[in-house]
Amino acid sequence: MTLVRREQLLRVVLLCLALATVGCDRVTKHIAAASLAGTEARSYWGDLLWLGYTENTGAFLSLGSGLPEMARTVLFTWGTGAMLIALAAVAIRARAWTAMGLTLFVAGGLSNWFDRATTGHVVDFMNVGIGSLRTGVFNVADVAIMMGAALFVLDELRRNTRVYSGRNGGDGEEATRRRGGAEMHGGSPQSD
């Protein structure tokens, strides 16, 4: 397969991934609003999963929900919108796994951004945990954002490990010993 063909295929995969992410989030938020709003929270599997309707006017874990409305609009609508555009531009040019991570991150962010821009809040409805150890309330877009961030970080770590292990014929064990910073070559430091 030619490089151009692979890049085209990757773009199609990224578009499908973004559409599926936004679509799943929109559908689940609609179902949550229709079936959970105004009702008592529901607990499943010994309180492992909790479903309940909440409207989050803040960011992740309701951070910033106490800010004045104008500040929330500027920060969470305009600021987030600009960041998502920049990340989308980076994703288009990124390597495959990094691009997939950024696509998940941007698609989840875009779906939450749409809620904030149109209603001033994001619908959250899931919470998981055991006993008093629990997550915050979240939605499918938040899962995509976290998965995208994890995929991005894992790909960067994998890439950096490969770069270190490839120097001077070194192997993975040597790369593990050489963590960041300058390395000694012939008695003098050589920076990355």
pLDDT in tens, 115-141: 988 998 899 999 999 988 998 899 999
Query: pLDDT value at position 181?
Result: 44
Task: Give the confidence band of 1 by pLDDT, cuts at 50, 70, 90.
Answer: confident
Query: Helices H, strands E: what count in the chain?
Result: 6, 6
> With 50 as the cut, is the pLDDT of residue 91 above it?
yes
**CA distances, 136 to each of 48, 50, 59 (Å):** 13, 11, 12
Write down the residue that tokens 């990355």 correspond to. 192
Element (H, E) at 44: strand 42-44
Element (H, E) at 9: helix 3-35
Query: pLDDT value at position 191?
Result: 42
Task: Give the confidence band of 153 by pLDDT, cuts at 50, 70, 90.
Answer: very high
Average pLDDT in the chain: 81
Query: pLDDT value at position 112?
Result: 94
Give this prediction's pTM: 0.74
- State CA 127 to chain mean position distance: 17
Angle, alpha carbons 33-34-35 (nearest 5°): 100
pLDDT tens-digit series, residues 62-90: 666 677 777 767 777 777 778 888 888 88
Amino acid sitting at position 115 = D
Query: pLDDT value at position 167?
Result: 54
3-state helix, strand, coil in the chain (%, to 5): 65, 15, 20
All residues at 6 or more sequence positions from 150 whose CB lies less than 8 Å from its CB, including other chains: 101
pLDDT tens-digit series, residues 156-189: 888 887 666 655 444 454 444 444 444 434 444 4
The residues that are catalytic are 124, 142
